[in-house]
Structure 1
Amino acid sequence: MPTLSKLYSMQEASEHNTKDDCWVVIDGKVYDVTTYLDEHPGGDDVVLAATGKDATEEFEDAGHSKSAKELMETFCIGELDTTFIPQLEISSKKQTDYAQKLMDLTKQYWVVPVAAVSVSVVLGFLYLRKK
């Protein structure tokens, strides 16, 4: 009978971010690596820096061996609950903000030259009218 994996939110996983209680999220799985911190070849600071976010990229970039990946499985306590990921909402909101700022800047930079030309034309007519 297959065992059911417990689901953890990213927020819940990120709350375990100390040397005495350390969880990391890699490739959609949650690992309690607290007991392994002192043995980690890269030091505990590297692992602690990977808490509170998806550390898959950092894990892959470090070039872990097959045996390291097998050892990691012994620390797996569950899976990441991906039904709601706030980062996606924040990301799309930032995109909208940047697009709006770009449109605002475009309007501002279009208005400035037109205003300068308009003022120049008015001053030119006033100058010629006095002559």
Structure 2
Amino acid sequence: MSEIKKYSLAEVKTHNDNRSSWLVINNNVYDVTPFLNEHPGGEEVLLEQAGRDATDPFEDVGHSSDARELMAKYKIGEVIDSERKQVKEKIPDWSSGNDNATSENTMKSWLIPILLAVMATIIYRFYFLS
């Protein structure tokens, strides 16, 4: 069983150009140098984050599961224990709020058609049945 190589953030920081580009994502260190020309967003996106912790920008973009699987081949190690950051568990938020907000929106979507129907009925009775 091979030992996982540990890197300090200072060491990662020195790999910040197109000759050697390292990123930290969720306390894992990746050498993305060979991936620069293949990155769908362009190499500039990776170079902008090179030598840094790119966890937040990576998560903000919402990478696919395929992209996350592809990362495995670029992993070269992990951040040393004393410099590790707490990793937030990303739970997708599929709702626009809580259940009450959803039922409230549903009621509002029915309210306008019902009011229009009632008004049309009153106008019809007033003008045509009088």
Return the TM-score normalized by structure 1. Answer: 0.61
Do structure 1's residue 44 and structure 2's residue 37 form an aligned pair? no
Residue number in structure 2 paired with 1:5: 4
Q: Show structure 1 runs of 4+ deviating over 4 A.
A: none
**Would you tell me which structure has more helix in proportion to its own residues?**
1
Q: Among all aligned residue pairs of Structure 1 and Structure 2, give the percentage whose two residues are the same amino acid.
A: 46
**Structure 1 alignment gaps of length 5 or more:** 86-131
Q: Distance in 2 between matches of 1:77 and 1:84?
A: 17
RMSD: 1.3
Shift of 1:64: 0.5
- The number of aligned residues is 84
**1:63-119 alpha-carbon deviations (Å, 9 max, x no partner):** 11001000001100000113147xxxxxxxxxxxxxxxxxxxxxxxxxxxxxxxxxx
Residue number in structure 2 paired with 1:125: none
**1:22-59 alpha-carbon deviations (Å, 9 max, x no partner):** 11000000000100000001111111111232110100
Q: Distance in 2 between matches of 1:22 and 1:68?
A: 18
**Structure 2 alignment gaps of length 5 or more:** 85-130
